[in-house]
Amino acid sequence: MAVQSFSDEQARVIVNLEQAYQVWMETLRTLNDMPYNMRIKEVSGREYLYEVTDRLGSMKSRGPVDAEKQAEFDEYKAAKAELKTRLTRSKATLKEQGSLYRALRLPMLPTEAGKILRQADRMRFLGAQAMVVGTNALTAYALEANGFIRDAPDATIDFDLALTATDADEDRPTLWKILKEVDMTYAVNAERPFQARNASAYEIEILSAPSRIGGQIARDKPRPVPLPEQEWLLNGRPVDRVVGVRDGEAARIVAPDPRWFALQKLWMAEKPERSPQKRPKDRQQGIALLNAVWQTMPHYALDAAFYEELPDELKPHFIQWDDQKQR
């Protein structure tokens, strides 16, 4: 079997972790959507309601205090206090489930990848503007398969993210803001401007399908490298899972349809420009993941209808796998 099924206890913790993460993230987003702070300040003998807009203490007036403004101020203070209490409690629950997840040796993300994904999710960047396309996606696929995917190498020291937005919007958060909020030491690799590294040499690589290259605003960075094969990963139905992180935290992964991801890996293994050191891993991941889909993910059909959707470049890899699949 390509998949070693999780135990009942492992499956229970996976579900609990996802529920805890969703409550925590929803609370965090709601709190972040509120004004940074509000205060009443006396100016020339009259009280005014001010909104504090950032950590530096910048303020803007919301007008003289009257009954309506006083009620607005009181409601804000009460709502923020309630959200802070809920955030503290939900964080404690999440930490507890994260510790259980780690103790049960379930598939985990590297700490740095988890930090980036949590921040991207908080800022509503993940899913809407980006998805995980490298080896780290296998963590989500394992949870989708409800088991460990055997023979699929998952060790990685970098992080691959594909930008997926269809149009550039100046009001959306930028990738660079996300990276800098995670770690101020991130810097763009001057020789490879589609990469960023932090002071610990952790590397993030930004990719894009050519059809989505215009979805990043001009001032954002790193600038993605457009790869035609990334178009394939936009097809099908993405996997969306909450996974554990090695530091005991959790993070959400949005990854491509596992069928398209696996076939792209098999195609990459034959790509002449591909590093010879990476080809064996590509092939092993592709075959192991297709076997896992076939055996444990009936909602991702590997049938004639799916085969007809494939471009000519991927059909031979599907046929070869179908002829040799594990029985």
Q: Tell me the pTM.
A: 0.91
Neighbours of 162 (CB within 10 A): 23
Looking at the predicted structure, is the pLDDT value of residue 284 above 70?
Answer: yes
Residue 266: C-alpha distances to residues 205, 232, 271, 279, 309 (Å): 20, 13, 9, 9, 17
% of the chain exceeding 90 in pLDDT: 76
Instruction: Please say whether the beta carbons of 143 and 3 come within 8 A.
Output: no
- For residue range 166-191, what is the model confidence (pLDDT) as tens digits? 998 888 899 999 999 999 999 999 99
pLDDT band at 1 (very low <50, low <70, confident <90, very high): low
Alpha-carbon gap, residue 283 to 270, rounded angstroms: 9
Does 2 score more than 90 pLDDT?
no
The letter for the amino acid at 269 is A
Burial class (CB in 10 A: 0-12, 13-18, 19+), 105: exposed
pLDDT at 159: 93
- Percent of the chain at pLDDT > 70 equals 98
Q: Report the alpha-carbon distance of residue 106 to residue 102 in Å, rounded.
A: 6
SS3 content of the chain, % helix, strand, coil (to 5): 45, 20, 35
Residues present in the chain in total = 327
pLDDT at residue 11 is higher than 80: yes
